[in-house]
Every structure is written in C-alpha cells, then in structure tokens.
C-alpha cells in the first residue's frame, strides 16, 4: 500500500491570481508536443513544415480547451447546464472531457487544413502521435489535484486516501493512454504511412486502454453505471472510437485510393 502525498495544487499565488499545477501540466504537454512536432516536420514526407508548427499547436490548443469543456458539459453535465447556462464557463466545476477535446482538435485540424489547402487526413495523422503527451500530463495534473480516484482495492500499489485504499486510476491512464500509447503511435509514425493509418491506430489504442481502465474508475456520481452495473459513459464513448479507428486502418491499407481522396 502506498500513501498519497499531499501536494499543494498551487505553485505560487499573487493576490487572487494563482498558477496551478494542473494548468502547468497542460503547458508542459503543449511545449513538448511543439518541440517534437518541429522535429517530425523536418521529415521530407511530412505534410507540415517546421514554420507551420506554431499555428498547428495554436489551433490544437483552442480545440482542446473549447472542445474539452463543451464535451464535458454535453456528456456529463447537461443537467447542470439546464439549471445554470453559465455552467459552461465555470471551468472549476466539472472539468474537461477527453472525447470532447478530441472532437475539438479534429475540427480545429480541419480548419487548419483548409487554411493550408491540404488534406485534413494528413493533418490528423501528423497530430495523432502528439496527442498522448497531453493525456499523460493532464492525468498527472489529476493526480496532483487528488481527483479521479478509482475503486477501493487491496492491491499493493493502491494509495491510501483518507481511510480507504484506492486504485490510482488517473495514473493508470497516464501510463497507458499517455506514455504507452505515445510510444506505440510515435514509432509507428516514424516513417511514411498510408493516410488515416496513424489516426486509426491512435483511436484503437486509446479506446482499448480507456475501456479497460474504466473498470477500476468510479463513474460520475450523477450518472453512475449506465447498464449491467459496470458500463460507464466513458466506455460508451470509447466504443465508437475503436470502431472508427478500425475502419480507418482498413481504408488505409485495403483502399489506399479512398484514404488519399
């Protein structure tokens, strides 16, 4: 059994302005993604050139923030929105949704592709290997905040929180959806691949890892289990990701002309 270290979520504060660890984790993730994107953009087959990376990261940041918040409100906090329309901007209440953030980034990449006059599928494939970095640092931020704990457990790596020993489900996600998924997709995309194959691999990998971790996560209290005393909203949202990812891989390797269309 491990003891959860009480970590101050505020790095420093000047009056009412506070710099929090959670927000700083996103900054670190975006900076690292920017650095790796610059390196990847030097490849001769890259659809993005190094001088275009700054704009790509900017579009991605907007997609994550706007899509992540809208996704949480629609998927997990719709009742609160009906009671208080300003709930959508109360970012300290409820948080962000990965699935909403993913949709936001995909839309932002579509707008960026239109700006450049290139295929959006190539932009998605370029951005996909960078996405797990944000997942990794975001979940570390959750750990620092002491949120998203999993179910009670007796495994030796469980964390003692109060009078319970709990699964550190946010760390499981950081490792699987963040670190492991990044390694898989980054090295897979290290050479030129058919359009949609990199994006498809990312969706399949994330969907499988998230579906599995949901078994030890605690569902949102206002939603609970949606079926069978184990099915969560997170699992319902990941199933389409796995299906779409598999379709992308099929199109990429069996119908390359369609993938390039």
CA distances from 252 to 46, 82, 256 (A): 17, 42, 5
Q: Encoding tokens for residue 154?
A: 């007796």
Rounded to an integer, the average pLDDT of 107-119 is 93
Tokens of 209: 């890892």
pLDDT digits (tens, 9 = 90+) for 156-182: 999 999 889 999 999 999 999 999 999
Query: Mean pLDDT for the chain?
Result: 88
pLDDT at residue 90, rounded to an integer: 67
pLDDT over 90 percentage in the chain: 58
Amino acid 131: pLDDT: 93
Q: What is the DSSP string of 74-125?
A: HHT-HHHHHH-GGGGG-TTSS---HHHHHHHHHHHHHHHHHHHTS-HHHHHH
pLDDT of res. 260? 52
Between 257 and 41, the more confident residue is 41
- Asked if 109 and 37 touch (Cβ cutoff 8 Å), the reply is no
- Determine the Cα–Cα distance for residues 137 and 87; give it in Å rounded to an integer: 25
Please compute the mean of the pLDDT values over residues 227-234 and round it to a whole number: 79
């Amino acid at each position: 059994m491990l003891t959860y270290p009480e970590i101050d979520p505020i790095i420093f504060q000047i009056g009412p302005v506070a710099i929090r660890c959670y927000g700083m984790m996103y900054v670190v993730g975006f900076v690292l993604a920017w650095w790796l994107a610059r390196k990847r953009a030097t490849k001769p087959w890259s659809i993005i050139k190094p001088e275009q990376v700054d704009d790509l990261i900017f579009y991605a940041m907007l997609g994550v923030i706007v899509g992540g918040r809208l996704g949480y409100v629609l998927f997990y906090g719709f009742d609160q929105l009906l009671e208080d329309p300003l709930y959508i901007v109360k970012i300290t209440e409820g948080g962000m949704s990965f699935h909403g953030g993913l949709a936001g980034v995909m839309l932002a990449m579509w707008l960026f592709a239109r700006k450049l006059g290139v295929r959006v599928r190539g932009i998605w494939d370029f951005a996909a290997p960078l996405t797990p970095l944000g997942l990794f640092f975001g979940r570390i931020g959750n750990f620092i905040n002491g949120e998203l704990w999993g179910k009670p457990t007796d495994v030796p790596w469980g964390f003692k929180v109060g009078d319970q020993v709990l699964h550190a489900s946010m760390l499981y996600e950081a490792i699987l959806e963040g670190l492991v998924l990044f390694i898989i997709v980054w090295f897979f995309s290290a050479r030129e691949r058919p359009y949609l194959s990199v994006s498809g691999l990312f969706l399949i990998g994330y969907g499988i890892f998230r579906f599995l971790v949901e078994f030890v996560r605690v569902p949102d209290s206002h939603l609970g289990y949606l079926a069978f005393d184990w099915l969560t909203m997170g699992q319902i949202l990941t199933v389409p990701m796995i299906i779409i990812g598999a379709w992308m891989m099929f199109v990429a390797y069996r119908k390359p002309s369609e993938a390039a269309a």
